[in-house]
Amino acid sequence: MSADEELLRRLRAGDETAFAALVEQYHAPMIRLATAYVPSRAVAEEVVQDTWLGLVRGIDRFEGRSSLKTWLFRILVNRARTAGPRERRHLPLGAGETVDPDRFQADGQWAVPPAPWTDDVDDRLDAAEVVGRVRELIDALPAGQREVVLLRDVEGLSSADACSILGVSEGNQRVLLHRGRARVRRMLELELGKV
Amino acid sequence: MAWWSRRRAVVCREAVELVTDYLEDALSRRDRQRLEAHLADCPHCSEYFEQFRVTIRTIGRIEPDELAPEIRDDLIELYRRWSA
């Protein structure tokens, strides 16, 4: 029996410890994701509460075709989208450069190349502070980028799972992920005092 | 990504837009080889790619917020009512 099957069995049997562990693990990440869609923390809390209710009500019918985690996040995204303002869901993504064009020469080669800083991130005593800043920046990303970065790089979900949760194509997902990551990289560059 | 593949070689301005496609293994074999050839020649783009990897790793270090005990208790109560 896989870990997911075991967890499912316990949840169906009314095992509170199993449910509490699930809440501990996913409540806060779901709040963060929900705030990409809804106007306030209070609404995000409601949406997530409603998601837990959806899990509890649907657990007997859940067929396990996706992981429990993927299913839970899909419930959340569906509810959050319903609760949030109607928005531009499937806007085509433009070409969009993620690095300031002024940093390149006319021939496309670097004019202002990236100065090295990666050793600083790993070595710095205040690494926790850097991570805290990264978090703030992710919370400030445009919704589309934020949801992909949260699912992929914070939650560690696969590309296929993220696409299934968000209902976006693999290609659009990669564009959003790339833009989000590029913004965070730029912020780290600025924070670490280079260029 | 077709928009640059017709060109003979990758330039830096294009390479920086391909990091995620590269890391996700979404480039064709030919495009990947061209990009790798560029990276082997260009220390700046290699640095940029390394910064991207460190950025992804740093994002992965974000910890979830603490869960307020009363919220957890409310949710467990909801579950208890359902399973009763």
Q: Say what the pLDDT of residue A95 is.
A: 60
- Domains in chain A, CATH or no CATH each: 3-83 (1.10.1740.10), 101-191 (1.10.10.10)
Q: Report the pLDDT averaged over residues A109-127.
A: 80
Distance of CA B17 to the CA centre of its chain: 12
Taking the Cβ of residue A130 and every Cβ of chain B, the question of whether any pair is shorter than 8 Å is answered with: yes
Q: Say what the pLDDT of residue A9 is.
A: 93
Share the mean pLDDT of chain B. 89
Band (pLDDT 50/70/90 cuts) for residue A122 is low
Range with lowest mean pLDDT among A86-100, A122-136, A171-185: A86-100
Total structural domains within chain B: 1
Angle at alpha carbon of residue A156, lines to A155 and A159, rounded to 5°: 115
Rg (CA), chain A: 20
Residue B7 has pLDDT above 90, yes or no: no
Share the mean pLDDT of chain A. 88
CATH number at residue B27: 1.10.10.1320
Band (pLDDT 50/70/90 cuts) for residue A185 is very high
Query: A11-54: per-residue pLDDT in tens?
Result: 999 999 999 999 999 999 999 999 888 888 899 999 999 999 99
Distance in Å from the first CA to the final CA of chain A:
53
Q: Which residues contact A105 (CB under 8 A, 6 or more apart)?
A: A111
Q: Biggest alpha carbon distance in chain B? A: 68
Query: B15-51: per-residue pLDDT in tens?
Result: 999 999 999 999 999 999 999 999 999 999 999 999 9
Phi, psi dihedrals of residue A110, rounded to the nearest 5°: -60, 130
Q: Which residue bears the tokens 């390394």?
A: B50
Distance of CA A95 to the CA centre of its chain: 22
Residue A124 has pLDDT above 70, yes or no: no
Q: Could you give the CA distance from residue A68 to residue A8 in angstroms, rounded to a whole number?
A: 8
Residues in A touching B66 (Cβ below 8 Å): 28
Residues of B near A (CB-CB distance < 8 A)?
Answer: 3, 11-14, 16-17, 19-21, 24, 26, 42, 44-45, 47-48, 50-52, 54-56, 58-67, 71-72, 74-76, 78-80, 82-84
Query: A140-165: per-residue pLDDT in tens?
Result: 898 899 999 999 999 999 999 999 99
Q: Which two tokens stand for residue A6?
A: 């075991």
In this structure, how many other beta carbons lie within 10 angstroms of the beta carbon of residue B29?
7
C-alpha distance from A90 to closest chain B C-alpha (Å): 20
Q: Say what the pLDDT of residue B1 is.
A: 47
Distance of CA B48 to the CA centre of its chain: 13
- Residue B13, domain extent: 2-83
Percent of chain A having pLDDT more than 70? Answer: 90
Closest-approach residue (CA) in chain A for B83: A14
- Smallest Cβ distance to B59: which of A97, A122, A138? A138
Residue A87 has pLDDT above 90, yes or no: no
CB contact under 8 A, B55 and A174: no
Q: Report the pLDDT averaged over residues A69-78.
A: 94
